[in-house]
Amino acid sequence: MEVEQAAAAISEGYAAEDDRAVARARKLEEQAVAKVRDLQHRLNGAEIRVERAQRTADTFAVESAGRLLAEREDAARDTAAALTRSVNETVKLAKEYKTERQRVSELVSQAAPGAGAINGPAATHAWERELDALDRAVRETSEIPAPLPRWLGRAHRERQDQTHRRLRLQRRKKPRDERSEEAA
């Protein structure tokens, strides 16, 4: 905005044939342009700092991932154990609910013969199907595993890498040994 104002003042100075006004306006324009450039340099510098900070954070995350995972192991195991206890308690309460509903139904049918089903508790509830599915899942898998990495195939890849490294070393040594035999 200052640059535009200074440019307009230069044009006005030329229109008025006032060389002093043109010179003053040019100085103002140069100062405004210098401000804009300085702000752009500051912005560029801030962007560079952000990029460097991001690289540092990324490097830290990569270098520290193993340690950070190790720190999360206890919390992961505790959470899985608490969830297992909670689900088992929920399944137990769902069974107790069904038992209680059955007892109440029986008592209602004894109190009002012939009208017990109509007057008794509802035959099902909104959560029943999901609780039955949860009960089946708990019977199939009694404990939920901790949310920890499985590292599938990692040990195999590490063994392969070690084997390849040994083979490369053997190949490098072999030409040297052959050269020494030829020299002898």
Residue pLDDT tens, the chain, 184 long = 888 888 888 888 888 888 888 888 888 888 888 899 999 999 999 999 999 999 999 999 889 988 988 999 999 999 999 999 999 999 999 999 999 999 999 999 888 887 666 888 999 999 999 999 999 999 999 999 999 888 777 677 778 888 888 888 888 876 655 655 655 5
pTM over 0.75: no
Q: Are 42 and 75 in contact (CB under 8 A)?
A: no
142: nearest Cα among 77, 83, 75, 72: 83
